[in-house]
Structure 1
C-alpha cells in the first residue's frame, strides 16, 4: 500500500473539465469527477459541493436544486438528474447526429479537415456497440449526408467501393464500411512521400497572382477593362475612364456589376443567362477566361463560400427588404426570392387563407393558439420551430427536397407526428399528417384578414373572425384534406371576396384591401411547395439501378420462423382428443438444468402447510384430482424419468386462494432462465 501510494503521489494531477451541458462531454466529465473526487472522499456533502463547482449553466442549476436535500440523498439525486438530462443514450446519439449534419463540407486536398472528420466518425463508430440509437447511422439517408461532406472525387471513389461491397457480400455498405474507407483515404492523402500531388509551379503562380491582386486592390480596381460597349459616346468614355470602372448591366460608371442594385433584383436564372451571354467568369465576373481558369475568385459576402455574392440564394431568411433606386417607387419594384415564395413588394398587405386555430399534441397534452395558413399549393404540412418548442416536441431529424418556384433545395427538418388542429371555439380536433419544421413561414401576420376588413362588405357581416396575439406558425397543405374541405360557401359580390366554412373556421379569399393599392406599392405572394423525402428518393433510385422490381418483393419468414414451423409441422399429433407438439427449442441439443432439489424443497414446504391447514390440503387434493381427471395434466411414467439427463424438468407448484372468489388455484412455476424455446 505504501509503494502504491508513493507511485500515485508522483502522478500528474487530474484535471476535471467543467461541464456546461454538452451531451458529448458528459461521459468524460463524470468519469473524471468520480476518479478525482468521489474515489477520494466518502463525504457525500463534499461530493455535492464539488459537483456544483465543476458544472455551469443548466447542469449547475440541477445540482444546486439538490443542495437542500440531506447529503446522503442530495448527491445521488444530483448525479441521477445529470444522467437523465445529459447522459441519456438518445440525447448523446442525437448530439452526434447533429454534429455530423452541421459539419462543414470538406474541400479537395484539405488534409487537416478530412483527418478531423475521420477521427470524429471513428469515435462514432466506437460508440455504436454501446449506444443503440447510433445504429441509425447505417440508414441510407444518414450515410448520404456524411458522404456529401466529402470532396467530389472521394465521393466518386466511395461509389465504386460501395458497389464492390454490394456484389461480394450481398448487402449494402454500412456506416463502419464508410469509416474504414475514409480512414484509408486519410492515410493516402497524408502519405509523406506521395500524398501531396499539387503542382508546385501552379501553386506558386497562383500565390503570385493573389498577392498581385491584393496590391492592386489598394489602388484602382481591376474592373476598368471589363468589356467595351459598342456605340458609345466619346464623352461617356471620358467620364468612364475618369471614374475607373463601369457596370455592364445598367451601363452606369459609378459601380461594378456585383454592386448593381438592378442586377441583384433580377431572378437567379436571368442573372446566370446574362453572365453567360456576356462571356463573364462565374468566379470573378471578368471577361477573358472561364471559371475553371480563374485565379482571383470572389467570396460571397453573405455565407463566405466560394461563389459570387450576386448569385447567393438565401435559403432560410424570408425577411422583406427594399432598395430605393433613382427612379420613382411607382415605376420600380423590388423582387425578393426566398425558399418559400417570391414577392414583388415594398409592403406586403395582401390577404391569404389564414385562420386562427388551436394546435394540440396528445404526447405532451399541450394546446397552443396560433394562425394556420391553408395553402392548396403545398403538398406538405409545415410548422415553425417556435411552435414545436411551445408544444415541447422535437421529432426525428431528417432531410427533404423542398421544391418551390424556380428552386430545388435540400433542407434539414424535424418530422413531428401526432399533431391535432381544431377551430378556436370548438373541440373538434382533426389529426394532421407528419408535420415538418422550418424556421419561418412564407407568410407574415400582415396577410391575416381582419374583422374590420370584412365588415365593409354587407354580405359577410355574419362572419366573426378571431383576433389572437400569435404569428402564422402553421402551414397546412393538401395532404390534410379534412382541414381543407369546404363545408359552406358565401359567394362574392361585385369586387369583394368570398368566404369558405371549414372545420377549423371561416376562411376569407379574395381582395380585402384594394384601397391600399392606390399608393403604388403592390404586393404579391406566390406559393408552390413540393416535398420529397430523401429516403424515398433513395429507395426509388435503388429500385431503378437494380433489376429487382418492387412488385416482386414480399415478406418472407426468418430462419428462426422456418425452424419453428418445421417443429410444429413435424411434431403435431392428436392424442386422446388433444393436439400435442414438441417444445420449440432453438437447438435440439439443449440441456435443461437439474432442478429436482428445488421441486423437492417446494413439496416439503407444501407438506408443512398441509399439516397446519387441513382445509387447504383438502382443496389442494381436489384441485389436482380434477386436473388429472379432465386430462389437463398427467403423471409422468417412471421409465421416462430414467436415462434422460438434460431433458427432464420438474415443475414446482404451490396453491393460492383467489382474493375475490375464494377458490384455490395451483400455480406452476417455470423460471425464466430454464426456458430456451423460440
Structure 2
C-alpha cells in the first residue's frame, strides 16, 4: 500500500508539472502559431491531463484515511484545488483564443449543421470600465445583454470576460477573486454593490455638470463641448429615472454663465420675447448653441487646427547664449579665459574695437541703451567689473592716478582674489557666493566603559545645553538617565528629549586634556551637514602652522555632537586671529584652533535661501508649569477620529424591549474594503491549525467546545443561512484559545483575532475607530479607592457580550466552527460586541456611561460610581460606613440590571457587607466563618481581605533554569512594583510638597 501511495502521489506531481509547463508554453507561444488546429490540440491535451489528474486524485482518496489526509502535504496544501484552478484558466484562455479567431481561419461547420458543445462566440468588444461611477449604467447594460444573459456561456467564461473588461480601481477590487465556476456571481455582485450606488452616480453626474469651465474666447469647439457635456449629463440622469422636466431654468442659467461675453449677448437677443411670463426652454438653448458652433465653423473653418500666434519680443538679456567674440566658442565673453587674461585696459580696448556694450559686453547697443540692471561691483558705475580700473594710491597726498590692476592667471585666480582685497573678477550677472562657516571640531569621545570613537562636533555658544545623537549613544553604549525636557529653538519651535548621558571629550592633540560633558539624547538629526557646500581649499597666510580642530572644515559632514555654551567656556583660550575679508577667523581652544566666519565658496550664486540656526534652550520651567496645571483643565479634547466615533455611537445606538443596548461598529469610512479580502480562506486555514492543536490537547478541546456551546445557549452566536453565505459582504475572524491559570471563572477564553489581514492587506481592526478614553487613570482610581473605610470590589459578568451588535454589522463578525473533524465546517456570526475587535473596549465603556446617563436620574450614587470608580468591567469603590456601602452596592446592581448587566465576584474588607451579598454572587476566594478571610485580585494586585493590605507574590527561578539579566529584572519588577505606579506616585508626592511650599513662600524666597 505504501508503494501504491507513493506511485499515485508521483503521478499527481508529474501531471501537475505538466499543467504548469503548459501554462508557461502558452504564454511564450507566438501569435502566428495560434491556429485553430494548434489551439484545439492543446485544449485536448490539457483535458487528457485533467482526466489523469482527477482519476489519480480519486484513487488517492480511496486508499487514504482521514488521519493520513491531515498529514500528507498534498492534502494540507490543497494541491487539487490549485491545479483545478490552473486547468480552468488554461481551458478558458484556449477557448477565448479559439472564439477570437477570424471567420476565415475557422473550419467550416459540419455537413449535418450540428453545433459544437462549446459555443464559440465572435470577439466581444466591451468598453473598458475603470471605476467611473457615471460610466457604470452604460457598462452594466452592455455587459448584461452581451455576457450576463448569454445562456451559452459558462460561469467561468463570464467571469473571464468580466475581469478582462475592467481596469483601474475596478480591476483591483476583483483582483483577489480567482477565475472559477463558483466565483462569477460573487464578482458581479461585488461590482454592482460598489459602483451601482445610485446616489454616487447622481453625485458624479451633477459634479461634472456644474464643474464645466467657462468659455473665455468664442470658438466652435468650446461651445460644442459645453453643449455635449450638458446634454450627456441630463440624458444620463433621465436614464436613472430622475425627472429633469422642470430643470430648464436652472440648466439655462448654468450653461449661459459658462458662455463667453459675445455668445451670452447673442443668446439674450435670441431669447427675447415680448411676453415676459414665458421662459425659454432647454430646447431653445440647444438650438441656439447648435446654430452658433455651425456658424463659427463656416466662418472660421480652420479654427480647430490653427495654432495660436505667439508674439515675440526681443530684449537684451543678462547672459546671452551667443558665440564668444574673442575665441568663438559657445560661451559669453565675460567667461572667456583668454579675455580674463588681458588687463582691464586691453579688455576695454577690445570692447571698443568690437562695438561691445561696456556694461554687458554684448554687441548691438551702447551702454546708454543697456537694459541690464547690474553694474560694476567695485564702483557701481555703468561698466562691467572686468573693465574697472583701480586707482593707484598716492603717498604724497596728491590725487591718485588711475593704474590698471594686475589680472590673475586662471590657475590662481581664486587664491589671489581671497588674499588681495583690491582685486576682483566678477561676471555681469552673478556675485560671489558667501557662506557662513560654523565652528566644528574633530574630537575623541570616551564613555564610562572606556569605549571611544571620533566624532565631528559643532561648537555652539548659542546653545544652553549639549546634545548627542541616538546613533552615537548606542555606539558608545552610554548609560542613560531619564530626563524629560523640551528644547526651544527659533520661533518657539519645540522638540522633546527624554534621556541624558555623560561622557568625556578628549583633544586629538593633547591626550591629557579632557572635559566632562552632560548631553541630551536626540533621536533625530542634530543639524544639516556643515558646511552646506564644499569650499575651495585656500592657503590663507594667517592659518599657516595652526593645528586645526577640524582639518576637514571645507567638506560637508554630519554632526553627531553639539557642544553648548558651558563646554565652549571650558575649552576657550585667549588667542584670536582675524584674516582679510572673505577668510575665516581662527580661535584657539583646548581642542585645537576652530574656524568660523564668512568665507567664499568658490562658486557663483545669485541668492542664498537656506540657513542653519543652532540656538537651543532647555525649558524646564515650562514643563513644571504644565505639570502643575494638569488638573486645571481635566476635560480632554477629542481628536477628529474620536469625535467621529462619538457621533456614530450617539446617532446609532438603540435599546431593545429588555433594555439591552444595540450598537454599530464604528467604521472609519462608509464603505469599508476589508470585506473584499479573502478572509474566509484565511480563517479556514487558521481553524484547521486549531484543530491540530485540539488533537494534541483533548482537554483544551473540551473546554473550548464548552465555551462555544455557551455562546450558542446564550444566543450570542448564530449559524449563517446557506443562502446568505456568499450573497452578503462579510469578514471572517480567526479565533484561538487563551489559557488563564488561576482564574476564578473560565480558565480557557476564546479570543477573536480581528487584526488578521485579508488578501488585500487590510484587517477589520484597521478600519475600526478606537474611540476616546472615557475612564480615569488607573493609579488615580486605586488611590481614591483606598481612601474608603469600607471597600468593595466586583466586576460585570461577560460585559462585552451583554451588548448587541446591529443587524447590518453582524456579517462583519463571522467565524468558522465544527464540533468534530468528521462534520462539515459551518459558518457562524457573532451577535454581540466581540473581544478582539479594536472598538470593543470603547463600545463597552461607552455603553456603561450611556446607561448612567439614560437611567441615572433615579440612581445618583450608582451614577457617580459608574462614571468615576469603574476600570473597564471592574468596579472599585466604597463608603465611610457599612450602611452606606450596602445601599450603594444595591443601587449599583439595580442600575446595571436596567441595561442587562450583572455584577459578580463581590469582595470587601467588611464581613457585614459581605453577608448582605448572596453567596452565589460572592468571590470564591472569600470565606465567612467568624471573620472575613481570603485573598482576591484587584486589577492585577492581590488584596488580603483579612489584613486589608496589598500583597505581592514573587516566584523565583529553579536552579535548573538559566539566570539572565532579563529574568532578574523581571523578578525585581514583579516584587517591588508590579503595576509600575510606585515611582510615579513618588513624583506626584514631590509635586504636592512643592505646591504646599509655594503657598507658604514666594518664588523669590
| TM-score between the two structures when normalised by the length of structure 1 | 0.29
Larger radius of gyration: 2
Larger RCO: Structure 1 or Structure 2 (Cα < 8 Å, ≥ 6 residues apart)? Answer: 1
| TM-score between the two structures when normalised by the length of structure 2 | 0.21
